[in-house]
Structure 1
Amino acid sequence: MIQNSSSRNYLTKDLGNTLRILQLNIEGVSRPKSDCLTKILTENKVDVVLLQETHCSDQSQLNTRCKIPGFTLAAATYHPKYGTATYIKNDITTVTHIRTQSDNNIYVIRLKVADTEIINVYKPPAQPWINDYIHNIEHPGLVIGDFNSQNTKWGDRATNDDGARVSDWAETENLFLLFDAKDKGTFHSARWAQDYNPDLCFTTLDSKGLPLHSSREVLSGFPRSQHRPVLINIGLQIPIVRSIPKPRWYFQKANLEEFSEELDFNIQWIPPEPASYERFVGLIHSIAKKHVPRGFRKDYIPGWSPRCQELYDDFQSTQDSDVADELILALDSARKRNGAP
């Protein structure tokens, strides 16, 4: 399957099964907000929705305020000021509810979607983070939510006590922070006119110490919430670059011998003087069109080689994760050699 990225000028080729998760501190659900959320989910082909700060006291209130067509409420925690909810797309049937916690004023929902554990977290600003509150996370797994903490590791200007505690917890649990400093902040303070990153995503590591194959994208703002939706892609994805539709000369397949012969024969009819410059250029261009292929590729994968194609075909037939890792490493090595991003 090939999917469009919502904000970048490339496509992605998915290897095997993929999962798309959207996380948002919605700052109180409502029917209009649900409609806006549904549009984002449809546009980005989302499978799992993790909401924080639903501001609902019970399930009846949540069901009345939050209706997302095509999704089912898998689990929720309730509080008039806090609360969380996890929704799963209706066509996903392999869902297991592991645990729901709301003691210590930290709200956690743990589910398994197929073989992937997904943990939805909300920690209120005044509640200190408790390091042993979430532990024994199986691989593959993710911990996603609003941690209300600041740390320079995830792009904040300073590290506060909760930021230090969350960082220590992630190291103890052997988790990987999925973060790109070039992304927008997940929270824009209208009061301070500044971005922060309270919304975080951590992934587990495999037996080789490699993080779960995943990517993260901070989307545009959401109505009546200072938080921005965060889109997380789980699974192997290869970027396919969109080429500028401008023809280029393909000199590697040029017939230089015939090009030289025809040029040598015709150039004798052009006088060697400045006034003949345009005529000379026209001759070069005309002969080149006959002997040098010219065109452009609509889409291409940087670094894709016959070896990559072989690994890709092998993975499609075996679904072997080791083959997938080898393919990704081969592409990364090729990009580094060619100076590609």
Structure 2
Amino acid sequence: MDDSEYQVLRLKLRAVELNVVNLYSPNDKPLSLDTIPVQNSNVLVIGNFNSHSQSWGYDHIDRRGEEVESWQDDHNLLLINNPDDKDTFYSRLWHTTSTPDLGFCTEDIHEYCKRIGQQLGGSDRRPIRTEGRDINKVTKDFNAALLQAAKKCIPRGSRRDYKPYWNKDLEGLQEELSEARREAETQPSQTNNIKLQKVKAKFLRAKIQARRESWKEKTASLNLERDSTKLWKLTRQLDDEGGSERGTTSVEENGSLLTGKQTANKFAENYEKVSNITVNRGRQREVRREERERRSKKSKEEVMETSLTLNELLTALKKLKAKKSPGPDHITNMMLTHMGSFATKTLLDVFNLSWKEGETSTGLEGGDHGTYPKTWKGQKESSQLSPY
């Protein structure tokens, strides 16, 4: 060939098709960039352009560099190289370094393209790496960032036997009461006993007053339409009542009582019997055929090809119920509804990536599993337990 050489490779991963162009243009041949097929999306052009420009680290621009930048502007391509990147080529003959290797891509895949990497093996050139986004890694990184932000911003310090009315004044009076009792016990006398009773009375009066003020303050902020559970919990705390202990689930099997691990094993055996479904080979082939047809046909519904919008996400977040237990990722609904604008847009990007790739994160494995008894009177039979 009298001009540059290039190869076009079309890679298809699920529903995404990537067009990769590998170019080599020696110094003594024209670039002929207009002959390269460049589409509006999913295009990656990499290779040896043998051109100089300040845009990729040189101190000047030559004619070939001007031609490359004009071609880049005409096709709305983004340069992967940075001016401060390491040189991509080392000449063993001249003992010099330069950057003849460049990478260009369309805007939709620019975030997947990494910068200049380390030298591979004995090659004289450094690679420009590209990689796709893994929905599992993206979800894991988002969850980790959200949990870290929540840990820094949400006050911690929950403690057992917490009393909402307790304050520093009561803390001081309690220490004074303990000291007065110690003196009464170590130095028995009428004076120390009177002092103990006065300090005790002072402490009890302050405690009753603190309870009343705390009750007024807490109940004033409660919404009885949705915070009834919180109200009763607060009442028990103000009355210094302890929490109730969990009961033990047991089942009866052939006249004997099973508890603990035996109960779990018996439930697993019964659940295995009812959950095993035999599917004949004919039905299996039919399902595989339907799956192949579904994958081969592109959706004709526009809504199935449209990304989720920020307003749609905000509407969905507003419908989340606050008092719900988190899943295995430990992300609560309150964390999601109190995110900032940047975190909300990041979550939208996670959802759209899952929507585009047709995959969901597999990081939800490892949740807690157990059983609860069905509502009926009498001893709990192993067949009367439901999974959760």
TM-score (norm 2): 0.38
Which has the greater radius of gyration? 2
TM-score (norm 1): 0.42
Q: Going by fraction, where is helix more abundant, 1 or 2?
A: 2
Higher RCO, 1 or 2 (CA under 8 Å, sep at least 6)? 1
Q: Going by fraction, where is strand more abundant, 1 or 2?
A: 1
